[in-house]
Amino acid sequence: MTQPKHIGVFGGAFDPPHRGHHALAATAIAQLQLDALHVIPTGHAWHKSRTLSDAQHRLAMARLAFADLSQVVVDGREIARPGPTYTVDTLQELQQEHPAAQLYLLIGEDQARALPSWSRWEQLPALAIICVAARADSTGAKGQFDALKATLPGLTVLNMPPVATSATDIRHRAATGQSIGPLVFETVARYI
Ligand code: ATP
């Protein structure tokens, strides 16, 4: 019998993709032994109040940022989908495409805490194992993970040292003429 595939799903604005995203992806590939990791830039991000950079630029930057991880597939399906896009729909699509696969939904801790505001979020644990990475700005990560575990069955913690990088910080630095060098990969910095 062939083993079910292990497929990771990592969505985000990726505006721009940075070293924190890459660390999360690399950790998940190793820890979960992923055969493939779909990096999925959001289309119309209903939960972000600001206007995102052009989707084609975010796709192109994601291809550059994750280029060294052979398991990563930069997946434009949410960008191609008209209207608001929801993770639950993406997971259902992937489940239909790979019926024998185990899906893993990868999210940072901030998004994990916001999960109860996601569309049909109660359906997520049935579709994928939810895997959470701590963020460097988190306060009392252990306690928060424990609280999350109580509401999300099967929640898995990604074992990565927190990376103190956010796209907000990078956009602020770029807008005020500060260096973004240490926070993004050189290929992405050049693209920006
Ligand atoms: P912004 O600052 O614009 O909100 P962001 O840096 O949080 O952006 P997103 O593209 O919104 O980046 O994040 C995509 C996913 O990656 C989310 O699940 C987020 O929690 C996670 N993530 C982003 N940065 C980190 C980081 N430094 N460590 C761990 N997870 C992260």
pLDDT of residue 48: 59
Compute the distance from residue 46 Cα to the ligand 1 centre, in Å. Answer: 16
Residue 115 beta carbon below 6 angstroms from any ligand 1 atom: no
Compute the distance from residue 122 Cα to the ligand 1 centre, in Å. Answer: 22
What's the whole-number mean pLDDT along residues 17-23?
A: 96
Structure tokens at 14: 């990726």
Residue 157 beta carbon below 6 angstroms from any ligand 1 atom: no
pLDDT tens for residues 121-177?
989 999 999 999 987 765 555 556 667 777 777 889 999 988 889 999 999 999 999
Q: Smallest Cα–Cα separation from 156: which of 74, 3, 33, 13?
A: 33
Residue 128 beta carbon below 6 angstroms from any ligand 1 atom: no
| Residue in the block written with tokens 């005020």 | 176
| 78: CB partners within 8 A, 6+ apart | 11, 40, 41, 42, 43, 85, 90
pLDDT of residue 50: 72
C-beta of residue 104 within 8 angstroms of C-beta of residue 32: yes
Structure tokens at 125: 């644990």
Structure tokens at 18: 């940075």
For residue 117, what pLDDT band results from cuts at 50, 70 and 90?
confident
pTM for this predicted structure? 0.92
